[in-house]
């Protein structure tokens, strides 16, 4: 049985990404005929057409799209193998790719990570702050080893472990008509303009679902990139917002805000550690996972 050549897979990926055999050839420092031959050989080996060719360039067939997804993961794994071996040769004990949401980083995840890497100095890490839906997708697709995020999106294909718990609060200026309230339902907030995080963030999508369940339309005045900025915009009188309650300690008094309990069952949020279901972690990633699970509370 003939084995697929990784170089041919890389050439195939380049051709799809460039949309042109000529541009792929330039990118790979090959002549176009060599690119064409490798793709034709791939099609013959696999017994299926991978590309459609036209005057506007080349496009993957459904089979080509499936091969591209698997090839990307395979080539990334091969690259990681090489990087791991280089790091071991240099005395490093391993490498971990971590993605964490803003909320997770605000709940002492940074403290736990710092403590771990002070203890395990021979382990290196890529830490990326990311939105929850992207974290989940990247773990599924093998682009990250460990994620730490609010467990508010579909985590099918992942294994999750409890890490921290928090709640959501309604945040208003002290002069707001709702500021005297001790608790509010989400429906009560929808009469007012809202300040939210980016539309592709987990919490924004979660609030979209909650509003849809109430058959109500949100009046989103502004979207910003962090909860601290949401609080500052609220303090400027631009609207109210839904924010994790632990920001109360740093934002309520300095910005003259009121954090009011959001009286909804779904306002109790679990922040979880996430890994790929049935995925194989390297020893460094497993060590970090064990450490974080031991710090869960």
Domains and their CATH numbers in the chain: 6-75 (1.10.10.10), 88-163+270-294 (3.40.190.10), 165-268 (3.40.190.10)
- Please give the model's pTM, rounded to 2 decimal places: 0.66
Q: How far apart are the first and last CA of the chain?
A: 52
Question: Distance between CA atoms of 17 and 35, rounded to whole angstroms?
Answer: 14
Instruction: Tell me which residues of the chain have a pLDDT lower than 50.
Output: none
Q: Please report the pLDDT score of residue 170 as a whole number.
A: 97
The string of pLDDT tens digits covering residues 8-17 is: 899 999 999 9
Q: Please report the pLDDT score of residue 152 as a whole number.
A: 83
Q: Please report the pLDDT score of residue 72 as a whole number.
A: 84
Q: Please report the pLDDT score of residue 88 as a whole number.
A: 66
Q: Please report the pLDDT score of residue 1 as a whole number.
A: 52
The string of pLDDT tens digits covering residues 200-227 is: 888 888 899 999 999 988 899 999 988 9
Angstrom CA distances, 188 to 12, 170, 244, 248, stand at 54, 10, 18, 21
Q: Please report the pLDDT score of residue 278 as a whole number.
A: 80
């Amino acid at each position: 049985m003939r084995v697929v050549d990784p170089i041919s897979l890389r050439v195939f990926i380049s051709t799809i990404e460039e949309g042109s055999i000529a541009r792929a050839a330039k990118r790979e420092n090959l002549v176009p005929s060599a690119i064409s031959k490798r793709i034709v050989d791939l099609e013959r080996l696999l017994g299926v057409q991978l590309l459609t060719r036209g005057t506007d360039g080349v496009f993957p067939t459904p089979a080509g799209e499936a091969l591209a997804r698997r090839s990307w993961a395979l080539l990334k794994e091969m690259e990681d193998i090489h990087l791991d071996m280089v790091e071991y040769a240099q005395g490093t004990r391993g490498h971990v790719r971590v993605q964490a949401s803003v909320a997770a980083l605000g709940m002492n995840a940074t403290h736990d990570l710092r403590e771990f890497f002070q203890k395990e100095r021979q382990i290196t890490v890529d830490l990326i702050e990311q939105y929850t839906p992207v974290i989940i997708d990247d773990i599924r697709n093998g682009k990250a080893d460990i994620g730490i995020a609010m467990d508010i999106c579909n985590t099918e294909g992942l294994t999750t472990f409890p890490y921290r718990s928090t709640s959501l609060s309604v945040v208003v200026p002290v002069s707001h008509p709702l500021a005297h309230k001790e608790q509010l339902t989400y429906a009560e907030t929808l009469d007012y303009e809202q300040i939210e995080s980016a539309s592709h963030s987990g919490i924004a999508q979660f609030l979209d679902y909650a509003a849809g369940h109430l058959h109500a339309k949100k009046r989103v005045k502004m979207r910003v990139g962090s909860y601290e900025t949401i609080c500052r915009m609220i303090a400027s009188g631009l609207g109210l917002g839904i924010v994790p309650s632990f920001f109360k300690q740093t934002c309520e008094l300095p910005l003259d805000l009121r954090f009011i309990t959001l009286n909804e069952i779904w306002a109790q949020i679990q922040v979880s550690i996430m890994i790929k279901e049935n995925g194989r972690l390297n020893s460094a990633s497993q060590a970090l996972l064990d450490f974080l699970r031991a710090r869960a509370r």
